[in-house]
Amino acid sequence: MIQISDLSKVYPDGTQALNGVTLQVRQGEQLVLLGHNGCGKSTLMKCLTGLEKPSSGKILLDQHDIHQLRGHKLRKVRQGVGCVFQQMNLVLDVSVLQNVLYGAMAKHGFWRVLNLTASRTLREQALWALEQVGLAELAARRTDMLSGGQQQRVAIARMLMQQAKIVFADEPVASLDPKAGREVMELLQRIVVEHGMTLICVLHQLDLAMQYGHRLVGMKKGKIVFDDTPDNLPAETFQELYHA
Amino acid sequence: MIEKAQHGNSDYLPPRFRSPSVTAWLLIIGFVAFFLHGIDGADVSIDRLGQGILNVGIFAAESFPPDLSRWNFIAYAMLETFQMALVGVVFGVIISVPFALLSARNTSPNRLVRWLSTNIVATLRTIPDLVWALIFVVAVGLGPLAGILAIMMDTIGFCGRFFAERIEETDPRPAQALTAAGCSRSAVIMASILPEAFPSFVATSLYSVEKAIRSAVVLGLVGAGGIGVELSAAMNLFRYDQALTIMLIILLVVISVEHLSSWIRKRLLS
């Protein structure tokens, strides 16, 4: 489903963020990326979403080379990719329902997802997505009135509305308190499992990674240093990853 | 030891005043010379200032009590001025939005378009509204249309720049999320950039209305319609009592509009 081959990224200032990363992720798999700050996790996520262009290598999403696509074809592939960001990246000046409706914008266009002009079906779908994340009663509220945890739930509802097959979550709980973080991870995992989505998630919390990842991938200096199931990875592996 | 540490090494103490460079001195001297030449050119003297105060006293004496006999004509002219300002600003604001989108770094399609758009807006801003009014009086004749067009051009120059700056200040992250979800560039702009910039757009537009009302009064003096025509006529005919009525009405309207727009801005931005 996701095929990353020999991916490298060198920034204009000479920083080598990724160095020959090769990874294959099967459909329905939940992969967690681990590593300290600056090891290349976020760059890898940006390359996966097409927001950053790699210096060399290839990324295939559902057989499509995302960095070779342009215009409509690129947008079409991106429609199937949901993103959950550390800072939620919601439009704060509009309602919660409107943010969820934006999840369908790539498919339907701006005017058909505008709360004022959207069809009843789409509005009901958006409300259903909000019900899934437990925020239906806040549909009319302005997004900037919500807490961090609630905003992250809205971002997940937007991803649901998008009907994504692949989910990239870049430190989705980093700006939340431990309780809210665990709730968000619980919700994300439930939705990913229920809808048969593939998840690549960057996490800093080892306990969360062990609990929610089928597969843990460790990164250091732009390279993959381990790739295995949580049960097969001894505690020293993580100590080496973070302290060495 | 402690005493030394408390006082520190005086070698590293920065001076209180650093003497400006030669270039800075030249600029200061140039500025002072230019300023003094300006005062000299204006022929400022105690005699002239004293006479000026006396003339203002005569004007004040002759203008009291204000003549309200033509209040209906004056009120109509003020209404025309207000409408002229409002219509000019509305069209100006509408045209400013695409100019701003083409001028802002994060929404412009390419550097050439951005350069062109920025320079068009800068040119419109550089030409004073009075000059625009003179051009449009020649183009479309005397009356409010010339005033509306002049205000429109001035508003594009003003709002085009401030809208573009606000667009550039928007948070890039929501746009990034929508782009990553496969949304088109125009949809991303409509859905994430414009909603964030909208309150600021409204606040800037309200400033434009205030500015346009003041401009519209002056534009009338060159024949672009509105209450300026009445004021010009009253002053030329030495009807200072009528002129005072006009000035009071202008003052009332300008202050009312400023209060109203300030109230709307406050509500909108909070």
A90 to chain B, closest Cα gap in Å: 5
Span B45-58, pLDDT tens digits: 888 899 999 999 98
Place of tokens 């070779």: A68
Number of domains within chain B: 1
- Does A17 reside within a domain? no
- Judge: B196–A106 Cβ closer than 8 Å, yes or no: no
Span B252-264, pLDDT tens digits: 988 998 899 888 8
Put simply, whether the predicted model's pTM sits higher than 0.95 gets the answer no
* Torsion from C-alpha of A193, A194, A198, A204, nearest 10 degrees: -50
- Does residue B168 belong to the interface with chain A, where contact is any CB pair within 8 Å? no
> A41: closest CA among A237, A209, A236?
A209
Q: What's residue B9's pLDDT?
A: 73
- Does residue B173 belong to the interface with chain A, where contact is any CB pair within 8 Å? yes
Mean pLDDT within B120-130: 93
Model confidence at B1: pLDDT above 90: no
| A219, A35 Cβ separation under 8 angstroms | yes
> How many whole angstroms separate alpha carbon A188 and alpha carbon A107?
23
CA dist A114 → A133, B26, B127, B262 (Å): 21, 60, 39, 30
A212: containing domain: 27-50+74-242
- Does A130 reside within a domain? yes
| B77, B230 Cβ separation under 8 angstroms | yes
> How many whole angstroms separate alpha carbon A154 and alpha carbon B46?
72
* ipTM of this predicted structure: 0.86
Beta-carbon count within 10 A of A64 CB: 16
Number of domains within chain A: 1
- Tell me which amino acid residue A36 is: H
Measured between CA atoms, the residue of chain A closest to residue B196 is A93
Angle between helices B144-168 and B129-140 (to 10 degrees): 140
**pLDDT (tens place) for every residue of chain A, 244 residues total:** 899 999 999 999 988 999 999 999 999 999 999 998 888 998 999 899 888 899 999 999 988 898 888 888 888 889 999 999 888 899 998 999 999 999 999 999 999 999 999 999 999 999 999 999 999 999 999 999 999 889 999 999 999 999 999 999 988 888 888 888 888 899 999 999 999 999 999 998 888 999 889 899 999 889 999 899 988 888 888 888 887 5
- Does residue B198 belong to the interface with chain A, where contact is any CB pair within 8 Å? yes
List residues in chain A touching B: CB distance below 8 A. 49-51, 74-83, 85, 87, 89-94, 102-103, 105-106, 109-110, 113, 155, 158, 162, 164, 168
B146: containing domain: 71-269
Query: With bands split at pLDDT 50, 70 and 90, how would you rate the model's confidence at B98?
Result: very high
- Does A185 reside within a domain? yes
Mutate to test the interface with A, among B166, B167, B183, B198 (most CBs of A within 10 A): B183
DSSP conformation letters of B163-226: HHHHHHTS-HHHHHHHHHTT--HHHHIIIIIHHHHHHHHHHHHHHHHHHHHHHHHHHGGGTSSS
- Pull the structure tokens for residue A151: 């905003």
Facing A93 at nearest CB: one of B173, B183, B195? B195
> How many whole angstroms separate alpha carbon B53 and alpha carbon B40?
20
Model confidence at B114: pLDDT above 60: yes
Q: Where are the beta strands (DSSP E) in B65-113?
A: none
Measured between CA atoms, the residue of chain B closest to residue A100 is B178
> B67: closest CA among B247, B255, B251?
B247
Beta-carbon count within 10 A of B35 CB: 10
| B155, B125 Cβ separation under 8 angstroms | no
CATH number, domain at A151? 3.40.50.300
Q: What's residue B178's pLDDT?
A: 93
- Does B196 reside within a domain? yes
> How many whole angstroms separate alpha carbon B5 and alpha carbon B220?
72
Establish how many alpha carbons lie within 13 A of residue B113's alpha carbon, considering only the half-sphere containing its beta carbon: 13
Helix (H), strand (E) at residue A170: strand A166-170
CA dist A148 → A97, A145, A175 (Å): 16, 10, 7
Q: What's residue A1's pLDDT?
A: 82
Question: Helices (H) and strands (E) in chain A — how many of each?
Answer: 10, 10
- Does B61 reside within a domain? no
A122 to chain B, closest Cα gap in Å: 16
> How many whole angstroms separate alpha carbon B131 and alpha carbon B135?
6
Span A141-166, pLDDT tens digits: 999 999 988 999 999 999 999 999 99
Q: What's residue B3's pLDDT?
A: 54
CA dist A2 → A46, A64, B79, B163 (Å): 14, 9, 67, 42
SS3 A166: strand
Mutate to test the interface with A, among B106, B167, B170, B178 (most CBs of A within 10 A): B178
Beta-ladder partners of A7:
A21
- Does residue B109 belong to the interface with chain A, where contact is any CB pair within 8 Å? no
> B139: closest CA among B261, B121, B131, B195?
B131
- Does B255 reside within a domain? yes
- Does B14 reside within a domain? no
> How many whole angstroms separate alpha carbon B196 and alpha carbon A187?
29
CATH number, domain at B251? 1.10.3720.10
- Does A216 reside within a domain? yes
- Does A64 reside within a domain? no
- Does A55 reside within a domain? no
For chain B, what's the residue count?
270
Q: What's residue B4's pLDDT?
A: 53
Measured between CA atoms, the residue of chain B closest to residue A87 is B173
- Does residue B179 belong to the interface with chain A, where contact is any CB pair within 8 Å? yes
B190-197's contacts with Cβ under 8 Å and 24+ in sequence apart are B190/A110, B191/A91, B191/A102, B191/A105, B191/A110, B191/A113, B192/A91, B193/B106, B193/B107, B193/B167, B195/A91, B195/A93, B195/A94, B196/A91, B196/A92, B196/A93, B196/B170, B196/B171, B197/B163, B197/B166, B197/B167, B197/B170
| B117, B191 Cβ separation under 8 angstroms | no
Return the DSSP state at A142: B
Q: What's residue A160's pLDDT?
A: 92
